[in-house]
A and B are shown apart, each in its own frame.
Chain A
Amino acid sequence: MALIETKDIIKDYDMGKVKVRALNGINISIEKGEFVAIMGPSGSGKSTLMHIIGCLDAPTEGNYILDNLKVSQLHKSELAAIRNKEVGFVFQTFNLLPHLNVLKNVELPLMYAGMSSKARIKQAKDILDSVGLSDRLKHKPSELSGGQRQRVAIARAIVNNPAILLADEPTGNLDTQAGSDILSIFSELHAKGHTIIIVTHDMAVANRANRIIKIIDGKIVDGNIAA
Chain B
Amino acid sequence: MAISLRESVEIGLADIWTRKVRTAVTVVGIILGVMSIMVVLAIVNGMNKSTLQWMEERGGLNKIDVHRNWEMDRKDWSLASFSLSELKLIRSLIPEAAAFTPEISDRSTGITKGELYFQTSVSGVFPDMTIVDEWNISEGRFINYFDINNSNNVIVLGSKAATELFSNHNPIGEYVYMQGQALKVIGIMQEKYLKMQGGWGGENALEYMNRRAFIPLTTMLHKISPNQTIDELSIKASSPEKALKLKTKLENILLNLKQGKKLFEVSSIKEQMDQMKQNSLMFTVIFVLIAVISLLVGGIVIMNIMLASIQERTREIGVRLAIGARRIDIFIQFMVQTILITTLGGVIGIVLGYAILNMVGTYLSMELVASLSMIYAALAVSVGVGLVFGIMPAVRASNLDPVNALRNE
By a beta-carbon cutoff of 8 Å, the part of chain A in contact with chain B is: 51, 54, 56-57, 76-77, 80-81, 83-85, 89, 91, 95-97, 99-100, 108-109, 111-114, 156-157, 160
13 contacts between A and B (CB under 8 A): A51-B403, A56-B406, A84-B324, A89-B323, A91-B406, A96-B319, A108-B320, A108-B323, A109-B323, A109-B324, A111-B7, A112-B320, A157-B323
B324 smallest CB distance to A (angstroms)? 2
10 residue pairs, one from A and one from B, having the closest CB atoms: A84-B324, A114-B1, A80-B326, A112-B324, A56-B402, A109-B323, A57-B403, A83-B324, A99-B18, A95-B319
CB pair A97–B316 under 8 Å, yes or no, is yes
CB pair B321–A83 under 8 Å, yes or no, is yes
Q: How far is the CA of A85 from the CA of B406 in the complex (A)?
A: 19
A11 smallest CB distance to B (angstroms)? 10
Contact of A113 among B324, B327, B328, B402 (CB under 8 A): B324
Q: How far is the CA of A89 from the CA of B325 in the complex (A)?
A: 13
Q: How far is the CA of A156 from the CA of B320 in the complex (A)?
A: 11
Residues in chain A near residue B324, CB distance under 8 A = 80-81, 83-85, 109, 112-113, 160
B322 within 8 Å of A (CB atoms): yes
Residues in chain B near residue A85, CB distance under 8 A = 324
Residues in chain A near residue B18, CB distance under 8 A = 99
Q: A56-B406, A85-B324 are in contact. List 10 more A-B contacts (CB 8 A).
A: A56-B322, A57-B401, A80-B326, A81-B324, A111-B3, A112-B1, A112-B326, A113-B324, A156-B323, A157-B323
By a beta-carbon cutoff of 8 Å, the part of chain B in contact with chain A is: 1-4, 7, 14-15, 18, 315-316, 318-329, 401-403, 406
CB pair A81–B1 under 8 Å, yes or no, is yes
Residues in chain B near residue A96, CB distance under 8 A = 319
Contact of A54 among B15, B319, B322, B325 (CB under 8 A): B322
Q: How far is the CA of A130 from the CA of B80 in the complex (A)?
A: 103
Residues in chain A near residue B318, CB distance under 8 A = 95
- Of B4, B316, B324, B329, the most chain A CB neighbours within 10 A belong to B324
Residues in chain A near residue B4, CB distance under 8 A = 114
Contact of B325 among A80, A91, A99 (CB under 8 A): A80
CB pair B316–A83 under 8 Å, yes or no, is no
A224 smallest CB distance to B (angstroms)? 24
Q: Is the interface of B mostly helix, strand, loop or mixed?
A: helix
CB pair B319–A97 under 8 Å, yes or no, is yes
Q: How far is the CA of A112 from the CA of B315 in the complex (A)?
A: 17
A12 smallest CB distance to B (angstroms)? 14
A92 smallest CB distance to B (angstroms)? 11
Residues in chain B near residue A84, CB distance under 8 A = 323-325
Residues in chain A near residue B321, CB distance under 8 A = 56, 80, 83
Contact of A76 among B2, B323, B326 (CB under 8 A): B326
Residues in chain B near residue A156, CB distance under 8 A = 323
A37 smallest CB distance to B (angstroms)? 21
Contact of A95 among B7, B14, B322 (CB under 8 A): B322
Q: How far is the CA of A153 from the CA of B4 in the complex (A)?
A: 24
A134 smallest CB distance to B (angstroms)? 21
Known contacts A56-B321, A81-B324, A109-B323: does B14 contact A99 (CB below 8 Å)?
yes
Q: Which single residue of chain A is at the shortest CB-CB distance from B17?
A: A99
- Of A91, A108, A111, the most chain B CB neighbours within 10 A belong to A111
CB pair B319–A112 under 8 Å, yes or no, is no
A41 smallest CB distance to B (angstroms)? 19
B285 smallest CB distance to A (angstroms)? 45
B219 smallest CB distance to A (angstroms)? 83
A90 smallest CB distance to B (angstroms)? 10
Residues in chain B near residue A51, CB distance under 8 A = 402-403
Residues in chain A near residue B401, CB distance under 8 A = 57
A91 smallest CB distance to B (angstroms)? 8
Q: How far is the CA of A51 from the CA of B404 in the complex (A)?
A: 11
B172 smallest CB distance to A (angstroms)? 74
Residues in chain A near residue B319, CB distance under 8 A = 95-97
Contact of B3 among A91, A97, A114, A160 (CB under 8 A): A114
CB pair B323–A83 under 8 Å, yes or no, is yes
A119 smallest CB distance to B (angstroms)? 13
Residues in chain B near residue A111, CB distance under 8 A = 3, 7
- Of B1, B4, B7, B327, the most chain A CB neighbours within 10 A belong to B1
Residues in chain B near residue A99, CB distance under 8 A = 14-15, 18
Q: How far is the CA of A89 from the CA of B327 in the complex (A)?
A: 18
CB pair B316–A112 under 8 Å, yes or no, is no
A59 smallest CB distance to B (angstroms)? 12
Residues in chain B near residue A57, CB distance under 8 A = 401-403
